[in-house]
Structure 1
């Protein structure tokens, strides 16, 4: 009997280790930036775990932290980061352990501490990155001035409905992952100061530039066109904050 119990524990231990290895391998199969993005952006600066973009003109002393979607390399948001920096915003996009924002929700603290001259901070994210960004904002209302959700929404535990937190929620018509139904379903979690914007013909993957994503729908517009719309809407919203 003892021998059978010992064997059972051994089998469970082996299966657990195999599951951990499988999970690790899965997290390393990331979505990388497209050649189009690299041609458009040029050299992308990296500071330790951060892809960074400093204002090329007037510095508005406003910082933006963008959390990537699950398993998406931070460079894949380089086009958006550069566009925002060209409008005067300081942008930091982190690289997460195991490429999952949910494992390091407080990662934004690093970039905020490294930039003490920034007077206002906004945090945003794409897909599951946006869920983690909303969580950080909810827990740090004295630090964060607003939230940018890209094909994303707050988790049920991060309810902004009774708050005045400025939120910009951008979603896409052809998104096969963060669908219109999901956006409608989670509207009740958004604050009284929320602006919603739908990108006609856009899809989930084109909130970054990393190619196609499993489960997504085909977009009716190009990745660059969708990126330009996202950038334009974010800048317009930020200018009113």
Structure 2
């Protein structure tokens, strides 16, 4: 047997060993991804009530969850992107309240509950509601980042942008945006911190409206369970201030006719 022939079995063993390592790594990666995909920030069970229709709001559930005020034929709508790994139902109470006050809102669930995987979801929502003439896009946390990505790519499709505890990423320069931008954040947010928001202001228009809610945290914009809050104010108070600021921007458009 020649030296070359003797080397073949050793080479095959090394290839087999390498293949097993690669397969094992791939399998481990799949297991980790599956486990990560199952992790969510859960909604409070009580928040599910807000996903039902009542005397003031018609709630429809399909690909999207829409909140339509009764007795109003709206021409202006707000699309909402949930936060990172957040169960969409957690935003039911605050979005239902917006609809109770007369605003049409569409909550857009995301793949694996991560809006960055589908920043262009707003386009599909718009296609499903052709009667809406003007759209404002909003998002919480990573949902706000994804909203900013869509807004920077398709400014002609929007009439405004609302960021809850969120800021634009490096690929989202909105400094020249032709429509109003509202940024609402908590002073005690340890995820979208005040410093992070301040560092990204150059990516937003000079006329951006900022509201920092004293004592508010990151997760108080939704009704979440199993969250360690850093807030020093009640969640209801944080949400009320967010609602009032959001409605102030939406009110600049005629709800029935879509005109500024």
Find the counterpart in structure 1 of residue 43 from structure 2: 33
**What TM-score does the superposition give when structure 1 sets the normalisation length?**
0.91
Find the counterpart in structure 2 of residue 225 from structure 1: 237
Find the counterpart in structure 2 of residue 156 from structure 1: 170
Alignment map for 1:72-221 (pairs within 5 Å): 72-213=86-227, 218-221=230-233
Find the counterpart in structure 2 of residue 58 from structure 1: 72
Count of equivalent residues: 238
Moved more, 117-126 or 5-14: 5-14
Instruction: Quote the Cα distance in structure 2 between the aligned partners of 1:42 and 1:97.
Output: 20
Instruction: Choose from 10, 16, 21 the match for 1:11.
Output: 21
Moved more, 217-226 or 63-72: 217-226
Summarize deviations over 1:167-205 as a string: whole Å, max 9, x none: 100010111111011011111111133101001111001
Paired residues of 1:59 and 1:89 also in contact (CA < 8 A): no
Instruction: Quote the Cα distance in structure 1 between the aligned partners of 2:13 and 2:51.
Output: 62
Q: Unpaired segments of 5 or more residues in structure 2? A: 1-10, 54-58, 254-260
Moved more, 46-55 or 117-126: 46-55
**What TM-score does the superposition give when structure 2 sets the normalisation length?**
0.85
Instruction: Quote the Cα distance in structure 2 between the aligned partners of 1:193 and 1:122.
Output: 17
Instruction: Quote the Cα distance in structure 1 between the aligned partners of 2:15 and 2:207.
Output: 58
What SS does structure 2 have at the residue aligned with 1:170?
strand
What SS does structure 1 have at the residue aligned with 2:42?
coil
Instruction: Quote the Cα distance in structure 1 between the aligned partners of 2:216 and 2:73.
Output: 31
